[in-house]
């Protein structure tokens, strides 16, 4: 991920093998990370059981919030592809009981269709 993408708030895909050990303690037995994306210091992880939003807080980054969303709680989602002038793709996820979606932006190099496919395969079970 380039510095400009970080400043603009875009996320990029992360190699799973590089982070598997870092997040092993928050995973359930037999749960595995399928996809991971980094947004400056924050992460969001798609496991085979849930979506985990990792919010690293403060200057030192020692305080971390882990927001776990079971796929069954996702009521619907949408993607918006990057365009010629709009250089980022967007993902919106609605959770049952909330009106406002969770919104994430990705750089144009990310295959948003692949990400949509991962979400669809888990939410449509």
Q: What pLDDT shows up at residue 57?
A: 87
SS3 (DSSP) at 8: helix
The predicted model gives 118-123 an average pLDDT of 88
Q: In what order do the strands lie in the sheet with 42-47?
A: 12-13, 33-39, 42-47, 50-57, 63-70
pLDDT of res. 5: 45
Give the pLDDT confidence score for residue 34 in this predicted structure.
Answer: 92
Of 74 and 104, which is predicted with more confidence? 74
- Asked if the model's pLDDT at residue 1 lies above 80, the reply is no
Find, among 88, 7, 17, the residue nearest to 40 by Cα: 7
- The torsion angles phi and psi of 67, rounded to 5 degrees, stand at -105, 115
* In contact, 92 and 81? CB cutoff 8 Å: no
The mean predicted confidence, pLDDT, of the chain is: 84
User: What distance in Å separates the CA atoms of residue 26 and residue 3, rounded to the nearest whole number?
Assistant: 29
Name residues whose C-beta falls within 8 Å of residue 52's C-beta, 6 or more positions apart in sequence. 23, 26, 44, 45, 66, 67, 68, 69
Q: What's the pTM value of the predicted model, to 2 decimals? A: 0.78
């Amino acid at each position: 991920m380039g510095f400009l993408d970080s400043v603009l708030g875009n996320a990029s895909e992360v190699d799973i093998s590089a982070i598997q050990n870092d997040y092993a303690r928050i995973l359930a037995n037999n749960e595995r990370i399928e996809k991971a994306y980094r947004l400056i210091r924050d992460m969001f992880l798609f496991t085979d059981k849930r979506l985990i939003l990792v919010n690293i807080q403060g200057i030192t980054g020692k305080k971390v919030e882990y927001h776990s969303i079971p796929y069954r709680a996702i009521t619907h989602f949408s993607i918006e592809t990057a365009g010629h002038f709009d250089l980022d793709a967007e993902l919106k996820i609605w959770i049952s009981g909330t009106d406002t979606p969770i919104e994430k932006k990705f750089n144009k190099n990310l295959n948003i269709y692949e990400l949509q496919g991962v979400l669809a395969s888990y939410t449509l079970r």
